[in-house]
């Protein structure tokens, strides 16, 4: 991926900035670039909309999940074959090859993969696990069943990912593991976090439910931690409607995680496996992935890299221009990180630099026909269950504030991902932003 500078959303020297339309919006110099945008009244004030692309076509280009003939054919074939369960080892083999994981196990969803992972940890009750508060509930709650307690860590507002400096401040003698989450497809800094974890004797875990296909230094996310999970739920980058996968670096973790919710697995394990005696029962759960979902996942995996590349190309066409507008930036990415895009194209907003509020921005952009939205990702530490000691081995500490979470939630925009060829639509969306920015003075009073 082209490593555009994300410095304050501009990434340009003053000289470069004056040479672009950015100079006009910032009022630094007169220039021709945004003359038309400035002349056109804002749609929110009754002017013409910048996005005139037919709404039905926008919906078709941004629709998710995207299943087609291949999935339908596979499902029909599977039903006719009557050999449903063969799908699961085939998906596992393919996922193993794709990610380079030595051991994997398909689970019925990401949450059951998480539960199995916490069981596999086999830590004494009262052990603590560092997790971002900016995550999905099961990443923090599933550990409860094994007496583990979350220590909530903030996110870095420039990446929306695990903030190592905050983790360092919050380390306690009870912490035994660190679980990171690759928010919206952005890899966490796995090298730095991993090094710190090793130095402190902590087990690194990864939640890559947002990041199918992302990598760092050429190594797929999900293979840096001792264990990792992902989800194939309908909204995810590789959807199968429901489904999940665990990835394990050691045979011990794999066997224990698989035995938890897969009663038939232990009999296939070597004689010396500590969980082999639990063949026929496992440990009380049944977490098998539905074979129909596995069939869909296998088809989706075939097209995953191509889809990620198409999405990235469209994001670049949009963001290379949008990030030249003052106050708009992408999450910061290192050159050795390869991200993917989950859910949306997230932009970070600095209202001071833009000169107007995010609310005004969204109102004006929506009026221009841009499908922009914002969504506060749940902050786990604020939810009721963590404040009640009765559910936990010991009460989780509830941080007074999480400035990183707050900044990202209050300061982002989500734009729909475009999955097809649509230069015209992308051009119109860019024009809409440039038009709104060209009316910065008016925007301040919107």
Ligand X SMILES: Cc1ncc(COP(=O)(O)O)c(C=O)c1O
The residues that touch ligand X, with contacts defined as CB under 6 A, are: 109-111, 135-136, 138-139, 181, 207, 209-210, 231, 233, 244
Three-state secondary-structure class, residue 347: strand
**Which is nearer to ligand X, 98 or 184 (by Cβ)?**
184
CB of 131 to ligand X, least distance (A): 10
Backbone phi, then psi, for 231, in 5-degree steps?
-125, 145
CA dist 368 and 439 (Å) reads: 13
Q: Tell me whether residue 183 or residue 215 sits nearer to ligand X (CB atom).
A: 183
As a whole number of angstroms, the distance between CA 252 and CA 246 comes to: 13
In the complex with ligand X, which residue's Cβ is closer, 141 or 275?
141
Record the tokens describing residue 267, joined without a space.
């009999």
Minimum CB distance to ligand X, residue 258 (Å): 17
Q: State both tokens at 342.
A: 């989950």
Q: Are 239 and 65 in contact (CB under 8 A)?
A: yes
Smallest gap from residue 246 Cβ to ligand X (A) = 12
Strand segments (E) across 169-286: 175-181, 203-207, 215-216, 219-220, 227-231, 244-248
- Nearest approach in angstroms of CB 296 to ligand X is 14
Residue closer to ligand X, measured from CB, 99 or 135:
135
Question: Closest distance between ligand X and the C-beta of residue 210, in Å?
Answer: 6
| Shortest separation between residue 352's beta carbon and ligand X, angstroms | 30
CB of 239 to ligand X, least distance (A): 10
Query: What residue ranges in 29-174 does DSSP mark as E strands?
Result: 103-107, 128-132, 149-153, 155-156, 161-162
Please say which residue, 358 or 412, places its beta carbon nearer to ligand X: 412
- Cα–Cα distance for residue pair 5/3, rounded to 1 Å: 6
Phi, psi (deg, nearest 5) at residue 76: -60, -45
Round to whole Å and give the CA distance between 387 and 294: 37
Would you say 343 or 440 has its CB closer to ligand X? 343
Query: Smallest distance, Å, CB 64 to ligand X?
Result: 14
Neighbours of 240 (CB within 10 A): 29
CB 282 within 8 A of CB 266: yes
Beta carbon nearer to ligand X, 135 or 405? 135
Full strand arrangement of the beta sheet holding 345-349? 328-329, 345-349, 412-415
Residue number, nearest CB to ligand X: 110
When the beta carbons of 43 and 161 are compared against ligand X, the nearer one is 161
């Amino acid at each position: 991926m082209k490593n555009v500078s994300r410095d304050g959303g501009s990434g340009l020297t003053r000289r470069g900035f004056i040479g672009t339309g950015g100079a006009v919006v910032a009022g630094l110099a007169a220039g021709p670039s945004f003359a038309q945008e400035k002349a056109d009244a804002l749609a929110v004030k009754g002017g013409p909309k910048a996005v005139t692309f037919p709404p039905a076509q926008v919906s078709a280009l941004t629709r998710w999940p995207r299943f087609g003939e291949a999935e339908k054919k596979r499902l029909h074939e599977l039903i006719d074959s009557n050999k449903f369960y063969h799908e699961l080892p085939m998906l596992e083999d393919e996922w193993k090859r794709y990610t380079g994981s030595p051991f994997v196990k398909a689970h019925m969803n990401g949450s059951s993969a998480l539960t199995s992972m916490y069981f596999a940890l086999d830590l004494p009750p009262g052990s603590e696990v560092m997790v971002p508060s900016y995550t999905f509930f099961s990443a923090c709650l599933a550990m409860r069943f094994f007496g583990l307690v979350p220590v909530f860590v903030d996110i870095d507002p420039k990446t929306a990912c695990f903030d190592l400096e905050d983790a360092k401040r919050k380390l306690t003698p009870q912490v035994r593991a660190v679980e990171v989450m690759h928010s919206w497809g952005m890899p966490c800094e796995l090298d730095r976090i991993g090094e710190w974890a090793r130095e402190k004797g902590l087990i690194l875990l990864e939640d890559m439910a947002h990041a199918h296909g992302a990598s760092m230094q050429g190594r797929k996310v999900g293979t840096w931690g001792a264990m990792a999970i992902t989800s194939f739920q309908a909204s995810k980058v590789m959807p199968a409607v429901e489904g999940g996968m665990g990835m394990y670096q050691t045979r011990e973790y794999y066997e224990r995680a698989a035995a938890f919710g897969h009663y038939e697995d232990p009999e296939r394990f070597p004689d010396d496996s500590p969980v082999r005696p639990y063949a026929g029962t496992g440990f009380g759960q049944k977490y098998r992935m539905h074979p129909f979902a596995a069939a869909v996942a296998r088809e989706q995996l075939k097209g995953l890299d191509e889809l990620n590349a198409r999405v990235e190309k469209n994001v670049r066409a949009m963001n290379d221009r949008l990030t030249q507008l003052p106050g708009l930036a992408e999450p910061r990415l290192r050159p050795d990180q390869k991200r993917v895009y989950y859910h949306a194209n997230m932009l970070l907003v600095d209202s001071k630099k833009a000169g107007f509020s995010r609310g005004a921005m969204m109102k004006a952009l929506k009026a221009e026909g841009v499908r922009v939205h914002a969504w506060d990702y749940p902050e786990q530490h604020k939810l009721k269950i963590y404040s009640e000691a009765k559910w936990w081995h010991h009460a989780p500490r509830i941080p007074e504030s999480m400035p990183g979470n707050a900044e990202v939630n209050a300061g982002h925009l989500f734009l729909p991902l475009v999955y097809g060829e649509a230069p015209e639509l992308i051009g119109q969306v860019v024009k809409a932003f440039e038009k709104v920015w060209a009316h910065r003075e008016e925007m301040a009073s919107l």
